[in-house]
Amino acid sequence: MDTTASTGERCPTCGNKGRSVKPLTLRALLNKELVDNLGNADYRFCDAADCEVVYHGHGQIFSKSQLSVPVGVKETTGQRPLCYCFGHSVASIKAELRTKGRSDALEDIRQKMKAPGCRCETENPSGACCLGSVAKGIETAQKELGMSDAVMPTENVNFSSSRGETLAKVGTLLSAIMASSCCWLPLVLLALGVSGAGIASTLEAYRPLFMVITFSFLSAAFYFAYRPKKATVGGKHDGCATEEVEDCCSPAAKGRFGMMAMNKIMLWGVTAMAVAFLFFPSYVGSLLEGDGSAVTKGMNRSVFAIEGMTCEGCSAIAAKAIRGVSGVLAVEVSYENGLAVVGTEVGRTVPKDAVLKAIEGAGYTGSIQLTKDDK
């Protein structure tokens, strides 16, 4: 053991800034005769390929020859182990590239992380997740095989949330809400006692545009959620000692796996809500059904023409407005025919002016077509 003084974050031999490593890792991987002299605080791991030093700290330096396992990131030939938990190395990646033209090492590690999990702190000399080393190892294997132009395997190594995905989800909902506003907005105005005259027909003209925007946003949201994400392999990777490759062993990274699944669940929820809003005009009539009373021959009846209805939802809105007129017992509105049949009790005439005012207040134009008083 070399006891040359070593202090700070940088390797005393090569000056490389090392990452923190717990004594647990050193105790598991150093030759047995060295572990009794270890300190209790963290050491530093030097990942420089051309440096013999592996660990330094507390006035101590440990080289490659003093470990019970080879340090793959410091080797240039041979097996060069990268993932110590699941057995991936530069050699095994080369074999994959020769037979399949690609490497599934990153995906294999990600899947095996779920069960039984990794043992990075006691297996990997860096004491951390190997994903960064494996990503760099794939590049190295490709270059050594003359496949430098090959595409890195798509992999969910960078789990940073996508702002574009969030914006796409929000845009989907807002545009879907606007696409159905020709039905729900007049209802809201009617409930507030505000005239919605002309607003339904105006909004209906923009409904196709909002539907196109909705599906565009929804397509973008699915793209962001399910697109293959390439491994980030720039800069320093070994032992995940970089901000570009997430440490899969950290609680935060494990939480991100769950967050990815949650984001997809939220996307499908957004999709369901968007569809519900888009088809709102088709089923709003069933939501606004009256008290079940039908216009019968025993009632005094009047027929009104209604202009400006653009969907089945409009007929429900018009019926609700007319039903609120004092003295009206039953209303039947036909969107196809553009007519409303209004019934009152025998001996009481239909309040035509009030009905016309109610139709206008709902946002449509009404006129009297026929009046028939059945005794």
d(CA 237, CA 176): 43
Last residue of a domain, one of 36, 66, 96: 66
> Which residue range is the domain that position 95 belongs to?
72-144
CB 134 within 8 A of CB 105: yes
| pLDDT for position 371 | 65
Last residue of a domain, one of 144, 176, 196: 144
Residue 150 is assigned to a structural domain of this protein:
no
Both 167 and 266 in one domain: the answer is yes
| pLDDT for position 158 | 44
- The pLDDT tens digits of the residues spanning 105-119 come to 988 888 887 766 778
178 CB-near residues (< 8 Å, 6+ apart): 203, 206, 210
Residue 263: in which H helix or E strand, if any?
Answer: helix 251-278
pLDDT at residue 251 is higher than 90: no
Residue 238 is assigned to a structural domain of this protein:
no
| pTM greater than 0.85 (yes/no) | no
pLDDT at residue 74 is higher than 60: yes
d(CA 360, CA 331): 16
Residue 151 is assigned to a structural domain of this protein:
no
Both 36 and 112 in one domain: the answer is no
Residue 92 is assigned to a structural domain of this protein:
yes
| pLDDT for position 373 | 54
Residue 81 dihedral angles phi and psi, to the nearest 5°: -60, 140
d(CA 259, CA 267): 12
pLDDT at residue 258 is higher than 70: no
Both 169 and 213 in one domain: the answer is yes
pLDDT at residue 257 is higher than 60: no
Of 213-217, 223-227, 234-238, the range with the highest mean pLDDT is 213-217
Q: Which of 2-6, 42-46, 172-176, 327-331 has the lowest mean pLDDT?
A: 2-6
Number of domains forming the structure of the chain: 4
Both 270 and 324 in one domain: the answer is no
Residue 330 is assigned to a structural domain of this protein:
yes
Both 185 and 266 in one domain: the answer is yes
Both 218 and 169 in one domain: the answer is yes
pLDDT at residue 162 is higher than 90: no
Both 124 and 209 in one domain: the answer is no
Both 306 and 264 in one domain: the answer is no
Both 182 and 262 in one domain: the answer is yes
* Averaged pLDDT, 309-330: 86
Residue 350 is assigned to a structural domain of this protein:
yes
Residue 34 is assigned to a structural domain of this protein:
yes
Q: Report the CATH number that the domain containing residue 26 is assigned in CATH.
A: 2.20.25.270
Both 270 and 183 in one domain: the answer is yes
Residue 218 is assigned to a structural domain of this protein:
yes
Last residue of a domain, one of 257, 278, 299: 278
Single-letter residue type at 358: A
* Confidence tier at 316 by pLDDT (50, 70, 90): confident
Both 264 and 308 in one domain: the answer is no
d(CA 283, CA 346): 33
d(CA 120, CA 253): 14
| pLDDT for position 288 | 64
d(CA 120, CA 22): 11
Both 81 and 138 in one domain: the answer is yes
pLDDT at residue 6 is higher than 90: no
The total of other beta-carbon atoms located within 10 Å of residue 303's CB is 17
